[in-house]
Amino acid sequence: MAKGMRDIKREIKSKQNMKQITKAMEMVAASKLRRAQEASTKARPYSDKLKEVVASIAAGTKDVKHPMLETRPVKKTGYLVITSDRGLAGGYNANVLRKVTQTIREKHKSSDDYVLFVIGRKGRDYFRRRNMPIVEEVIGLSDSPTFADIKSIAYNAVKMFSEGAYDELYICYNQFVNAITQIPTELRLLPLQEVGGKGPVTSYEYEPSPEGVLEVLLPKYAETLIYSAVLDGKASEQGARMTAMGSATKNANKMINQLTLTYNRARQAAITQEISEIVAGANAQA
């Protein structure tokens, strides 16, 4: 019985140590989530203004033609997948990777029909193990990524579409709703749609011409949408990690309480047995 009690006590101590770790990770994730939301909010005005200018050109120019606006027969598809570098974030990575894999299986019969751009070590390792065609990867992003961190992969993804390497580009990531809810999202990025908008359009003067400005702005607009998705993905990652660590802390508390109850019962049983043995010994001497 004493050995059993020692084992239980050791297990309680182990669970308490684990609880301290998960609680600390939950608090760190909550802090990072707040910063990630702030970064996403700060990046939004630039994206909105860029969209406004593009909409103004599209609305004011008849028969706008640009490779990024033209829908063509789909022979090959590109996917830009956003995952994390670290785990312990619940179903954050598994959900988006499952969605991408299901889409690829349904739409493509051969690996020659699609290419992958991957952000995050978890996604990179997942696709590598399955020998799926990765064109470019980015790993080791900080928790507060800048546009410079993903500029290369965003530029190449947009450039390859413009050059006809594939006929459509999807971005796959977890859309942030709140700390509890992140929605695996598959958004068609290219060709761009509905850049004209429905609201009032601001009048601008362009040099050298609206078409020339559009030639420069459309790739930047697409790259900005990718960066916005990366920021949204970072917020989703921290929200998922905070929720997962919060659940782990609650489970640790439940296990500690159950083990403590078991330990107290074992201790009470040991004391009762000792008292019974003492009483039996006293009666034997009487």
Of residues 45 and 160, more confidently modeled: 160
Specify the pLDDT at position 267: 86
Domain-located, residue 20: no
Residue 162 belongs to domain spanning? 28-242
Q: Length of the chain in residues, anyone?
A: 286
Of residues 267 and 27, more confidently modeled: 27
Domain-located, residue 105: yes
How many C-beta atoms lie closer than 10 Å to residue 60's C-beta?
14
Domain-located, residue 3: no
Domain-located, residue 79: yes
Domain-located, residue 196: yes
Burial of 218 (0-12, 13-18, 19+ CB in 10 A): buried
What is the reported pTM? 0.86
* Cis? peptide before 191, omega within 30° of 0: yes
Tokens of 117: 């751009």
The 3 state secondary structure assigned to 192-230 is CCCCCCCCCCCCCCCCCCHHHHHHHHHHHHHHHHHHHHH
Phi–psi pair at 5, nearest 5 degrees: -65, -40
Residue 118, H or E segment? strand 114-119
Q: Give pLDDT tens digits for 50-100.
A: 877 777 776 666 566 777 878 889 999 999 999 999 999 999 999 999 999
Domain-located, residue 204: yes
Domain-located, residue 58: yes
- Total structural domains in the chain? 1
pLDDT for 167 beyond 70: yes
**C-alpha closest to that of 91 among 228, 229, 237:** 237
Domain-located, residue 35: yes
Q: Report the C-alpha gap between 30 and 242 in whole angstroms.
A: 6
Specify the pLDDT at position 202: 61
Q: Give pLDDT tens digits for 99-111.
A: 999 999 999 999 9
For residue 53, give the CATH number of its domain: 3.40.1380.10
pLDDT for 221 beyond 70: yes
Least confident span in 208-212, 216-220, 224-228: 208-212
Q: Quick one: residue 97, left, alpha or beta (phi over 0 = left, psi -120 to 50 = alpha)?
A: alpha
